[in-house]
A = this chain, B = another copy of it.
Amino acid sequence: MFFASDNWAGAHPKIADGLSAHTAGFASAYGTSDIDRKVGERFNEIFEREVSVFFVGTGTAANSLSLAAFNQPGGVSFMHREAHMLEDECGAPEFLTGGSRLRAVDGPLGRMTAENLEHAMAHFEPESVHSGRPMAVSVTQATEVGTVYSLAELDAISAVAKTRGLPLHMDGARFANALVALDTTPAEMTWKRGVDIVSFGGTKNGCWCAEAVVLFDTSKAREFGFLRKRAAQLFSKSRFIAAQFDAYLADGLWLDNARHSNAMAAKLADAIAASGRVRLAWRPQANEVFAVMPKTTMKELNDAGAVFYPWNTPRSYTDPIGAEETMCRFVTSFATTAEEVDRFGALIA
């Protein structure tokens, strides 16, 4: 019963096999091999337009370099208060952009509202060198708390950014989970909404180590190549990432993995909602489930072999939590089994 995080899973067998298949032989290094190129074209198909794809090693790198691609002295990037970049990346975005700043925007359950974004930006108007200036907007899709921005919500946020000529970044560490939740296409969820750059994550959804930055303005590709290399994110045997993406994006594996993962989260949420000992904090839309329970219950469940952790209560969650209670996070993945969820359900029944 491993619900600690989707990065506790290993690799999906098809991805491991795909990587193994490319073990032998020689291929040109640093992203110039046939398989690198093939995967580049696959991204074009997936996004229904020409894109520039840059493999990097971590989601932190993808996010930080995405902001760096639009860097400005005195720049301020806007994102939800509980965004991963703000909470969990050790200041890497600030460091890798040379000192730009992140600004928290509030909104219900992981999603900033366009209104709050507008308000946060008004703080910087009229432009002044003292206050710094807006430089980018970033949304996490699916969010850090298992919710998903609707296309209309993305439109509204995008409009606030575009009015000011600002780029819109999507942290897609769980891109596929959001995509299948919305039952839409990559193009609809990104550039058709005004998204300029995507951190396209594969690691949490079945790869070993496969993250990419997808740029829709291909004229920025030359510059991004230098940004990536300077940040020590250009891999010599780049095909080890390409091969993972090749398998990941073949035959809909990435979507199947995400559908499975989301379904397991829904099943888990059902079990929690039915429990008398644990209560569902909110309904999940992707693969993260949040529940409130007594600390003693948490310990008891942990002791019984259910691996999950407490989580900071989102600021926007206003239901009462008792002094002896705690918010907990459960994450499902391609590797989560229905049997596992059932076993956990039995524990909390």
- Spell out A's residues near B (CB within 8 Å): 2, 4-5, 7-11, 13, 16-17, 19-20, 22-30, 56-61, 64, 68, 72-76, 87-92, 94-102, 123, 129-133, 203-204, 208-209, 223, 225-237, 239-240, 307, 312, 335
Contact A19 to B227, CB < 8 A, known contacts A7-B237, A237-B7: no
Nearest Cβ on chain B to A191's Cβ, whole angstroms: 24
Cβ A90 vs Cβ B226 within 8 A: yes
Cβ B130 vs Cβ A89 within 8 A: yes
Q: Which of B19, B68, B90 contacts A132 (CB 8 A)?
A: B90
Cβ A26 vs Cβ B13 within 8 A: no
User: How many angstroms between the C-alpha atoms of A232 and B58 in the bound complex?
Assistant: 6
Q: Which of B24, B95, B230 contacts A90 (CB 8 A)?
A: B230
User: How many angstroms between the C-alpha atoms of A293 and B173 in the bound complex?
Assistant: 49
Cβ A10 vs Cβ B232 within 8 A: no
**CB neighbours of A64 from chain B (8 A):** 232
User: How many angstroms between the C-alpha atoms of A67 and B91 in the bound complex?
Assistant: 15
User: How many angstroms between the C-alpha atoms of A7 and B92 in the bound complex?
Assistant: 28
Cβ B11 vs Cβ A26 within 8 A: no
**CB neighbours of A223 from chain B (8 A):** 72-73
Which chain B residue lies CB-closest to A20?
A: B16
**CB neighbours of A209 from chain B (8 A):** 57, 209, 235, 237, 240
**CB neighbours of A68 from chain B (8 A):** 73
**CB neighbours of A97 from chain B (8 A):** 99
* Copies in the assembly, this chain: 4
Contact A132 to B232, CB < 8 A, known contacts A16-B23, A237-B209: no
Q: Which of B30, B58, B230, B312 contacts A233 (CB 8 A)?
A: B58
Nearest Cβ on chain B to A332's Cβ, whole angstroms: 12
User: How many angstroms between the C-alpha atoms of A208 and B91 in the bound complex?
Assistant: 28
A-B residue pairs in contact (CB < 8 Å), sample of 19: A10-B239, A13-B23, A16-B19, A57-B233, A61-B233, A64-B232, A72-B223, A73-B90, A73-B95, A74-B90, A88-B130, A88-B131, A89-B130, A89-B232, A91-B230, A92-B232, A94-B100, A101-B101, A133-B226
Cβ A10 vs Cβ B22 within 8 A: yes
**CB neighbours of A13 from chain B (8 A):** 23-24
A4-B26, A10-B22 given; 20 more Cβ-contact pairs under 8 Å: A4-B28, A5-B236, A7-B236, A8-B27, A10-B24, A11-B23, A20-B20, A24-B335, A57-B233, A58-B233, A58-B234, A68-B73, A73-B90, A87-B131, A88-B130, A91-B101, A95-B231, A99-B230, A203-B237, A204-B236
Cβ B58 vs Cβ A235 within 8 A: yes
Nearest Cβ on chain B to A302's Cβ, whole angstroms: 14
Give 9 nearest A-B pairs by CB, closest first: A95-B99, A7-B236, A61-B232, A2-B26, A57-B57, A98-B98, A129-B229, A208-B240, A94-B99
User: How many angstroms between the C-alpha atoms of A29 and B8 in the bound complex?
Assistant: 6
Which chain B residue lies CB-closest to A227?
A: B73
Contact A130 to B57, CB < 8 A, known contacts A29-B5, A208-B237: no
